[in-house]
Amino acid sequence: MRNVFHEQLDAVFEDLTRICGQVEIAVRRATESLLTGDAAVAEQVITGDAEIDRAREKVEESAFELLSLQQPVAGDLRVIIAALRMVTELERMGDLSVHVAKIARLRVPNVAVPDAIRATMTSMGETAEDMVRRVGQIIEKRDVGAAIELGRDDEVMDRLRRDSFAQLLGDDWEHGVEAAVDIALLGRYYERIADHAVSIANRVVFVVTGQNPRSIES
Amino acid sequence: MRNVFHEQLDAVFEDLTRICGQVEIAVRRATESLLTGDAAVAEQVITGDAEIDRAREKVEESAFELLSLQQPVAGDLRVIIAALRMVTELERMGDLSVHVAKIARLRVPNVAVPDAIRATMTSMGETAEDMVRRVGQIIEKRDVGAAIELGRDDEVMDRLRRDSFAQLLGDDWEHGVEAAVDIALLGRYYERIADHAVSIANRVVFVVTGQNPRSIES
């Protein structure tokens, strides 16, 4: 049955899709600033984060209103709680993009990523951005199949992170401690963006099916 | 007015206090394993985390039940949502302790922390543990004064992290890239534990006063 509650819930999910689009731009620009050393682009990510924070607050207020006025129970209640958790994770992904951009800014006029590891870090940035783009579509279309697939692809990021460590800790690393520390932390930030994308995808599976992905796959 | 709702809510906060105690033990053991290279203690943290996860699930179920059966509105609704967020953060602090313990385990039979930076890392571990201990009391006693104080003390962790970077990136760092990468990631994990402690303290302020700490202080 479609009713006011479900129309308002749809509006919340439209907001989530829109915020995911903002996060996608933040991740793309953060990676761009990192690979080019462009301080202006890094600055865009850092100052632009306030907009994502405001959008999160708006979703939270809508969700509280829905909870307070519509008094949902059972499944509907869990869907709104899931939406609240999704927006928290999206905001966090924005924060992580800011962390990437701040490392980029710190090294201007240099580039934080040495050429030797540029390919790995480019792939990490592209993988993170791609996962955020896909999770936006997953939220928009409530696409359970794509959500389960995203969970499986998380291993791409894990492999890239292992590759980056192998390079940093290899005998032929000649870029010193500072670059190694930057790369290790950047890898951590991108990995967390990917973790959150998978977590949001799992929440969409739960929202649509009432089950967690693991119980569906098995 | 005390009623069934508020009794059940008290029970949720008792559970949160108990989980915070489990997290405190996890942080303490993680630091111990890190400073001693004791694989058995690291293993306790890693396997023990499942218990924190189960405790989180229990709190989530209690909160859902409260929301579903008692249909709270306005302030009471926000308090339960705050409790749900607090338990998510406590679980995350447990995960971060596991990350610390895994670095310790990875370097056995060696110790991940070189002597030159041992004092700084010991302080970081102690500061994190102290913040978790204090936030447990803050949850238990709904202590707004102590919560606001905890937020102010967060700068201790920031300073320790800056100190660690100064040591890693100083000319006299002679422990190579691997130790530096370990220290940078460990610093990140401890910093996140401290961030979550402050965030939980802020949620307690909100639960008690209905206001965020910033608006109270100003």
Residue-wise pLDDT tens digits, A57-85: 999 999 988 988 888 877 888 899 999 99
- How high does pLDDT run on average in chain A? 94
CB distance A181–B178 less than 8 Å?
no
Q: In this predicted model, which residue has the larger pLDDT, A8 or A189?
A: A189
Q: In this predicted model, which residue has the larger pLDDT, A215 or A48?
A: A48
Question: What's the rounded mean pLDDT across residues A84-92?
Answer: 97
CB distance A180–B185 less than 8 Å?
no
pLDDT value at position B23?
Answer: 98
Token output for B108: 């056995």
pLDDT for residue A215 is more than 80 = no
pLDDT for residue A2 is more than 60 = no
pLDDT value at position B216?
Answer: 64
pLDDT for residue A91 is more than 50 = yes
CA separation for the pair A181, A159 (Å, rounded): 19
Angle of CA points A159, A160, A166, to nearest 5°: 90
CA separation for the pair A114, A173 (Å, rounded): 10
ipTM of the complex: 0.93
Place of tokens 């008792």: B14
pLDDT value at position A218?
Answer: 45
The per-residue pLDDT for range A148-161, each reduced to its tens digit, is 999 888 899 999 99
A181 vs B71, B84, B180: nearest CB: B180
pLDDT over 90 for what percent of chain A? Answer: 83
Interior/surface letters A167-188, b for 16+ CB within 10 angstroms, e for the rest: bbeeeebebebbbbbbbbbbbb
What is the torsional sign of CA A2, A132, A99, B138?
positive
CB distance B177–A165 less than 8 Å?
no
pLDDT in tens, chain B (218 residues): 558 888 999 999 999 999 999 999 999 999 999 999 999 999 999 999 999 999 999 999 999 889 888 888 778 888 999 999 999 999 999 999 999 999 999 999 999 999 999 999 999 999 999 999 999 999 999 999 999 999 888 899 999 999 999 999 999 999 999 999 999 999 999 999 999 999 999 999 999 998 877 766 54
pLDDT value at position B217?
Answer: 56
Reduce the secondary structure of chain B to three states and give it as a string.
CCCHHHHHHHHHHHHHHHHHHHHHHHHHHHHHHHHHCCHHHHHHHHHHHHHHHHHHHHHHHHHHHHHHHHCCCHHHHHHHHHHHHHHHHHHHHHHHHHHHHHHHHHHCCCCCCCHHHHHHHHHHHHHHHHHHHHHHHHHHHCCHHHHHHHHHHHHHHHHHHHHHHHHHCCCCCCCHHHHHHHHHHHHHHHHHHHHHHHHHHHHHHHHHHCCCHHHHHC
A168 vs B78, B181, B188: nearest CB: B181
Q: Which of A181, A195, A199, A212 to mutate to test the interface with B (most CBs of B within 10 A)?
A: A181
A177 vs B73, B85, B169: nearest CB: B169
pLDDT for residue A111 is more than 90 = yes
| Residues 6 or more apart whose Cβ sits within 8 Å of residue A78 | A206, A207, A210, B64
**A to B CB pairs, distance under 8 Å:** 57
Does the domain at B4-217 match CATH 1.20.58.220? Answer given as: yes
pLDDT value at position A217?
Answer: 56
Q: Which of B76, B177, B206, B212 to mutate to test the interface with A (most CBs of A within 10 A)?
A: B177
CA separation for the pair B204, A176 (Å, rounded): 44
Question: What's the rounded mean pLDDT across residues A103-130?
Answer: 96
The domain limits of chain A are 4-217
pLDDT value at position B107?
Answer: 96
Give the single-character DSSP code of A171: T
pLDDT value at position B212?
Answer: 79
